[in-house]
Amino acid sequence: MKAAPGEVSEVSRLSVEERQGALRAVLRRPLLIAERAEHREDFAKVRRHAEPLRAWLARHTGWTLEVDAECARLYKVPARLDDATHPAFLAKDELPFTRRRYVLLCLALAVLVKSESQTTLGALARAIVEMWKENAAFASLAFDLDATDSRRDLIVAVRLLAEYHAITQVDGDEQRFLHHREQEVLYDVHHHIIFRLLAARRAPSAIAEHEWSARLEALVAEPAIDEEEQRNQRIRHYLGRRLLDDPVLYLPGDLPDEAQEYFLKQRPHILQALVDATDLEPEDRRDGIALADRIGDCTDIGLPEEGTDGHATLLTAEYLGALRIEQPGDIVPFALVEQFLAAQAQKNRGFWRKDATAPGSEVALAREVIRRLASLDLVRRLRDGVVVMPAIHRYRHELRAVVAGPTQSEN
């Protein structure tokens, strides 16, 4: 029996919507683990649509998607190697990864690659210490297992690996290790995940360059052919990566001349291809372009968000937007943001969490708010303050919807 035309149309629509959801899911989480309950539904979608997703990503971004029974891994190559607005985090209330935490994360992976199927935190720590001593590049960083702050950084790096499912805690308590380094923690090691974590075109050990930016470029360098079609393809990939990965693409300043010229000619076609594949909403304006996530399943930092930090960020965005109208292009000192948040903390006492309204707390709150705004490319950090960017004005209408503040449940 044949399906009625309306039924065929509905099935086709649902299939397209599911494929769009699968692409948004893997863009949001480039590593989806089949075993993890919070990944299971998205992983199933990606696996069902693996072939069309793989072909689309290869054509429009140059990214590689690998899918098997255990995980889905999207190997993203960033369009910009100097973007420091999205550091690694363990959880919402943790500080961004420091240089030492990144080093510990990489050394832990280097140890785990060669480990057995199980290891302990003590064995991992001792192996890292030995590697630290052998490499002169780490001489400027202090790491001492007898120091509590060093052990804390190690635990944060290990917990991030657990979030990636590279290891699973079997026995023991990491908090006890924090206070007493003799306390042990046992982990299962998942090599099939560890081998997929590094998103690079070349092995780091094969890179001969010494200067930092040159090493990063060599790590993700792609074959370059001077023929026109290959050149256009590289530009298309670059533009696709910028539009999918970055919150805003400001024009013309954010694009190299070559990409700017190509984009002027192909702008409608490029945007339509991205919108059709993701169902993101285009905001195409004279001074920039954003693909807005109206569904909310492709976003790491949202605005507005519930809670003290979210409310403070929205208030600060409105304040900085007003300053930009008065003095466009001026640098806003960090101290001015701190003063504004100190005043807002008093107004919102009883709504904001207590540690955000205590005297002096505005310094830490301002740092977090600026981090969020920079991650959304609504401001750009300089040494002495921030430059407010045009896209900040899109949130003025959001502020009018905020009645009083975050819910009392956070206090």
Residue 223 has pLDDT above 90, yes or no: no
Compute how many other C-beta atoms are within 10 angstroms of the C-beta atom of residue 148: 12
Q: pLDDT, tens digit, for every residue of 161-216? A: 999 999 999 999 998 998 888 889 999 999 999 999 998 888 888 888 888 889 98
Mean pLDDT of the region 326-350 = 93
Residue 400 has pLDDT above 80, yes or no: no
Q: pLDDT, tens digit, for every residue of 88-145? A: 888 765 678 999 999 999 999 999 999 999 999 999 999 999 999 888 888 888 889 9
Name the β-bridge partners of 250: 288
Q: What is the phi/psi pair of residue 64, to 5°? A: -105, 135
252 vs 270: which has the higher pLDDT: 270
Report CA torsion sign: 289, 390, 256, 198.
negative
Q: pLDDT, tens digit, for every residue of 166-180? A: 999 999 999 899 888
**The pLDDT value given to residue 6:** 58
| Domain coordinates in residue numbering, the chain | 5-75, 78-221, 228-292, 308-410
Spatial distance between the Cα atoms of 32 and 142, rounded to a whole number of angstroms: 34
**The pLDDT value given to residue 241:** 96
Matching fold, domains 228-292 and 308-410: yes
Q: pLDDT, tens digit, for every residue of 63-72? A: 999 999 999 9
**The pLDDT value given to residue 210:** 85
Tell me which residue of 141, 144, 163 sits closest to 154, measured CA to CA.
144
DSSP string, 295-306: SSSS-SS-SS-S
| Token couple for 337 | 């943001």
pLDDT band per the 50, 70, 90 thresholds, residue 411: very low
**The pLDDT value given to residue 194:** 95
Spatial distance between the Cα atoms of 356 and 309, rounded to a whole number of angstroms: 9
Spatial distance between the Cα atoms of 362 and 369, rounded to a whole number of angstroms: 10
Q: pLDDT, tens digit, for every residue of 354-399? A: 989 999 999 999 999 999 999 999 999 999 999 999 999 887 655 4
Contact 93, 134 (CB under 8 A): no
Tell me which residue of 199, 288, 214 sits closest to 251, measured CA to CA.
288
**The pLDDT value given to residue 398:** 53
Average pLDDT score, the chain:
89
| Token couple for 248 | 């805003």
Cα Rg, the chain, nearest whole Å: 23
Q: Between the CA atoms of 120, 121, 126 and 131, what dihedral angle is there, to the nearest 10 degrees?
A: 100
**The pLDDT value given to residue 407:** 44
List, in order, residues 6 or more apart from 244 with CB less than 8 Å away. Answer: 27, 61, 274, 278, 291
Residue 158 has pLDDT above 80, yes or no: yes
Spatial distance between the Cα atoms of 140 and 330, rounded to a whole number of angstroms: 36
DSSP 3-state percent helix, strand, coil across the chain (nearest 5): 55, 10, 35
**The pLDDT value given to residue 34:** 94
Spatial distance between the Cα atoms of 175 and 151, rounded to a whole number of angstroms: 10
CA 399, 404, 408: angle at the middle one, nearest 5?
125
pLDDT band per the 50, 70, 90 thresholds, residue 267: very high
The pTM of this model reads: 0.86
Amino acid at 248: V
199 CB-side CA count, 13 A:
13
**The pLDDT value given to residue 208:** 87
CATH architecture of the domain 308-410 equals Orthogonal Bundle (1.10)
Q: SS3 for 181?
A: coil
Q: pLDDT, tens digit, for every residue of 268-296? A: 999 999 999 999 999 998 889 999 888 88
1 CB-side CA count, 13 A:
3
Name the CATH code of domain 228-292 (choices 3.40.50, 3.30.70, 1.20.120, 1.10.10). 1.10.10
| Token couple for 73 | 């891994």
